[in-house]
């Protein structure tokens, strides 16, 4: 191994050492509980349906007549909602589906006349 190659290997080793140290410092600064909660919220967002239903029930049980109507509307709305919020997985699946549909388009029949 020549002098230039040895110098490149040393430079790469130093770079890997610095990057590794940075990752260790970042990992040490994160609290496991907070990081795991953030990752869980990112991959499995909280359900809007359940939140609406809980708020609606709380309003319906309240002793005032106006809150009962609003609570009933929230509960009914929670049952009328179709799907859950998008997760990273569903966004990726939808993106793949749309990209497949776009690539299958035949634009040969499409002509713009001026």
Which tens digit of pLDDT belongs to each residue from 25-35? 877 777 777 77
Helix axes 65-80, 48-61, angle to 10 degrees: 160
pLDDT in tens, 35-75: 777 777 777 777 788 888 888 888 888 888 778 888 888 88
Read off the DSSP letter of residue 84.
P
For 12-26, letters b (16+ CB in 10 Å) and e give eeeeeeeeeeeeeee
Give the pLDDT score at 114.
56
Specify whether the CB–CB gap between 81 and 56 falls below 8 A.
no
Q: What is the pTM of this model?
A: 0.39
| Cβ-contact 72, 109 below 8 angstroms | no
pLDDT at 90: 75
């Amino acid at each position: 191994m020549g002098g230039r190659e040895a110098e490149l290997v040393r430079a790469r080793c130093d770079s890997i050492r610095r990057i590794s140290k940075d990752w260790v410092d970042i990992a040490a600064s994160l609290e496991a509980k907070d990081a795991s909660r953030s990752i869980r919220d990112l991959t499995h967002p909280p359900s809007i349906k359940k939140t609406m239903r809980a708020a609606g029930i709380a309003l319906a049980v309240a002793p005032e007549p106006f809150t009962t109507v609003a609570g009933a509307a929230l509960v009914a709305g929670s049952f009328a909602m179709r799907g859950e919020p998008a997760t990273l997985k569903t966004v990726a699946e939808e993106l793949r589906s749309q990209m497949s549909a776009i690539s299958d388009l035949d634009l040969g029949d499409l002509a713009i006349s001026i």
